[in-house]
Chain A
Amino acid sequence: MFLFVIIPLQQVFGQLGTISGTVFQENGEVVPFANVYLSNTNWGAASDENGQFKINNIPPGEYQIHAQFIGFSRQSKSIALSENQNLTVNFELKYSNLDLEEVVITGTMKEMSKKNSPVPVEVYTAKYFANNKNPSVFESLQNVNGVRPQLNCSVCNTGDIHINGLEGPYTMVLIDGMPIVSGLSTVYGLTGIPASLIEQVEIVKGPASTLYGSEAVGGLINVITKKPSTAPLFSADVFTTSWLETNADIGAKFHLGKKASSLLGVNYFKYSNPLDLNNDGFTDITLQDRISLFNKISFDRKDNRIFNIGMRYVYEDRWGGEMNWRPAFRGGDSIYGESIYTNRWEVFGNYQLPIVDENFNLQFSTNGHHQNSVYGTDRYIADQRIAFSQLTWNKKWTPSNDVLLGVAYRYTYYDDNTVATYAADSSRNSPSNIHLPGLFIQDQVTINEFNTLLLGLRYDHNNIHGNIFSPRINYKWNSKKEKTIIRLSAGNGFRVANIFTEDHAALTGAREVVFTEKLQPEQSVNVNLNVVQKFYTKNQTYVNLDGSIFYTFFSNRIVPDYETNPNQIIYANLDGQAISKGVSLNADIVWHSGVKIMGGATLMDVTIEENDGKQRQLLTENFTGVWSIEYTILPYNLTINYTGNVYSPMRLPLLGDLDNRSEYSPWFSIQNIQLTKPINDQWSVYGGVKNLLNFTPARNSIARSFDPFDKNVQFDANGNAIPTPENPNALTFDPSYVYAANQGIRGFIGIKYTLK
């Protein structure tokens, strides 16, 4: 074929020339297989593995010669070739970091953003949470098996996160792996992270790495924000419900000079439409006005080293109470209201030290939390400041030993207006100062292709409670193709409880808080066995089963006693044992047709055993189930999500033997349906119905809501309410009987804009 072409060319142009040369790249090395060609002709060649190319039989003339290759920018040169010339042209190609511009086919069966770690990590993508839109990560966690956002107060609706039956303080919240070390409510770590900036949420149930201290025995929630390189330039997402709860999320990406990029997020949530559908005289859910700002700056450094700084600020004003409450009644005894102003700021970061060939990371986190709250006539004004820093050194000592060494230091300042921060003689205020230096070492041993072992040991010194040792062990076995994975984790926990910052009930003022002794730190031992099995069928269906058995044994557990005296909460270290144990199973099924089903169930038993017998922990269910079903109707590109959960009865705190309210909550289920329809690349709309079954808790959940200041209650000499014709059940006002949000069926609609 070529011969036919060449012969006539020679006749027309005379003597033909040759172009040869080498294709180099920026660093001086050669580029193999690069395409070199002359524009507007068919002449060209590819460089060989040494980067050299040669184009023969070129007629004399002027040409544009180009070299281009995947991974590099195209380089063009003008050349003039004379008769019979052997011209040398070298190229030096620059790296290209632009997207390849070819046409991409985008299917529906894809994911945007389980680690290979011996610690079982569950990864939930932002997409998963978008299946049931909620104002914050806190509410979104209701769709995760074994995790329950628990409301602690039916008036002010504050809550905490229970993982496998363990309360909020046992859970550590991190943003991008940077700990938001927090005493005052773990919840604020999870509200006010704009959903638009979340890439995924990783959840560890049971003892996580020793890296996270001795408190994270219940689990770990790590919110991973979007990577600057793939985050959209701008996004806005606004939705409102038929209760007029409005949520707005705005995310933006900026370049700060050439070396840094910034992700900015703003979240605003407002609910200002008091409703009393159950006619108890109280707001059904708490009115809220919350703004949070989030900013993460990532610096581009030499050799890909990390330097990120994050900042977050949350301001919230919430109140609940009698329908005619106004801020003017705050703290008074005429109209009951609970009002909380929260101001919280955080700065956290991660800096990799510029040491060649070594991986040293400095993490820091500092936050301030100021809470000004009023529960009826009781004031709780608290101030907390935490500074945390840790330096880690990660090194592969041998190919199979990946060692992490670290030193950490945490300082906590806490002051409030309660007796908790009074000096021993109660004469003066004495804020608490806790210094907690620590050391830890962990070794990830890759025994072979199938077995991995993670060993950890941590030592902390608490300036009040002394030495704390916490060993951890995690073991993983996997089958050849990782279709079966077995993980076993064990560890212990150590926690110094701060009743006022953690237990909301202590603050409601409805009950008097009594300490019968100086509280000792709680200690726990936790074991967790996790088995994952994957199946693939011939008709291209994927099934993932993930089962766990967990067991936690507590000694010195701090248990609030609501039952000895209905007007008191008595805090004491348990003189017995508390055990939380259970099994959970998650199933994930994905059909080739695009139907995705995720379901999970947890069966657990959380008991407290003292000399007078065994009892179930209050406000803790025995069974929970969650599910999420997704289907996209392709011709319309309409996605339907049906999500829900179901809870078995929980034992509830009653006010004495005469209390006529049910001791157990009913079985209940919250189910939601959502439709999402993209209009074009930038806009999409969604809407649906929340709480389809219209479940609400019992109308009499708030005891004596008509007499919130107990003005018509008669008490005996011991302070116990006595039955009277007006108060036959000897009740007092009490909002702590709460197990679900008092919010029935409602519709919602939202719109999302994304500029990539």
Chain B
Amino acid sequence: MKQLLLIFQFFLLSLAAFAQVDWINFEEVTTQLAEEKKPIVLFIHTDWCKICKMQEETVFSDEIVAKQINTQFYALKINAEEKQSLTFLGRTYAGATANRYHELAEYLGKSNKEFYFPTLIILNEQLEVVYKKAGLVSKEEWTEWMEEMK
């Protein structure tokens, strides 16, 4: 038991410095883009997907990564199983049903007809997809992208 507690403490102590991405609403993007053009980070997840949680809690919560996202991008997050419809950049996408995921998540996130979670997409200032990855994007990988995008 004592050992177990020690392991717990180890995990708690080794938690990364607290930082978080400020996700914005899909509806807001249009007005914000009108004011200032910025690339978009779009994160597709589900609420049961462990790797998605890992992505959020070990990469997006990293101080440097969170800061980069918050200052250089508009950050959007969509649950592929969300039932509510959403309007994104002028088009309204239907919510998830038993037969498919959220239209927006599927449209942007499917890769070669399959759908993996998480999927991370970057749209440039012209709102074209420039980067898309199905699976965890590690800190190292994210840093590489940021270098490439410069």
Residues of chain A whose beta carbon lies under 8 Å from any beta carbon of chain B: 25, 29-35, 46, 48-49, 51, 69-72, 95-97, 99-100, 102-116, 123, 176-177, 227-230, 232, 298, 304, 306, 308, 350, 481, 483, 534-544, 588, 590, 592, 681, 756
Q: A230 touching B16 by the CB < 8 A rule?
A: no
- Write the residues of chain B forming the contact surface with A, with a CB cutoff of 8 angstroms: 11-12, 14-16, 30-31, 33-34, 46-54, 57-59, 61, 88-91, 93-95, 97-101, 103, 106-108, 110-118, 123, 126-139
| Chain B nearest CB, measured from A349 CB (Å) | 11
Cross-chain contact B134 with A306 (CB below 8 angstroms): no
Would you list the 8 A-B pairs with minimal beta carbon distance, nearest first?
Answer: A107-B135, A110-B135, A109-B136, A104-B111, A536-B57, A229-B100, A540-B58, A535-B11
Which residue of A is nearest B118, CB measured? A110
Question: What's the nearest-Cβ distance from chain A to residue B47, in Å?
Answer: 6
User: Total contacts A to B, CB within 8 angstroms?
Assistant: 194
Q: Chain B residues near A104 (CB, 8 Å)?
A: 111-112, 132-134
**Cα separation A35 to B33 with both chains bound (whole Å):** 14
Q: Which residues of A contact B15 (CB under 8 A)?
A: 535-538
Look across to chain A and name the residue whose beta carbon is closest to the beta carbon of B100.
A229
Q: Which residue of B lies closest to A543 (CB)?
A: B11
On whether the beta carbons of B98 and A177 are closer than 8 Å, the reply is yes
When distances are taken between beta carbons in the complex, the residues of chain A under 8 Å from B30 are: 32-33, 49
Whether the pair B97, A230 counts as a contact (CB closer than 8 A) is no
Nearest opposing residue in chain B for A202, CB measure: B48
Q: Which chain B positions have C-beta within 8 A of A541?
A: 58
Distance of B81 from chain A, by nearest CB (Å): 9
Q: Is the interface of A mostly helix, strand, loop or mixed?
A: loop
Q: How far is the CA of A107 from the CA of B131 in the complex (A)?
A: 13
Q: How far is the CA of A542 from the CA of B52 in the complex (A)?
A: 10
Cβ contact within 8 Å between A32 and B34? yes
- Selected contact of A230 from candidates B50, B94, B101, B107, CB within 8 Å: B101
Complex contact A70–B129 (CB within 8 A): yes
Given contacts A107-B136, A228-B100, A298-B99, contact A544 B91 (CB under 8 A): no
A304 touches B95 (CB 8 A): yes
- From known contacts A306-B97, A543-B11, infer whether A537 and B58 are also in contact, taking CB-CB under 8 Å: yes
Q: Assess the A227–B89 pair: CB atoms within 8 A.
A: no
Contacts of B11 in A (CB 8 A): 535, 537, 543
How far is the CB of A294 from the nearest CB of chain B, in Å?
A: 16
Compute how far the CA of A541 lies from the CA of B127 in the bound complex, rounded to whole angstroms. 33
A39 and B130 alpha carbons, distance in the complex (Å): 21
Pairs across A and B, CB under 8 Å, 6 listed: A70-B123, A104-B132, A230-B110, A588-B50, A590-B51, A756-B112
Rounded to whole angstroms, the CA-CA distance of A475 and B140 in the bound complex is 40
B135 and A109 contact, CB distance less than 8 A: yes
Residues of chain A within 8 A of B117, CB atoms compared = 110-113
* Structural contact, B54 and A109, CB atoms closer than 8 A: yes
How many angstroms from the CA of A32 to the CA of B31 in the assembled complex? 10
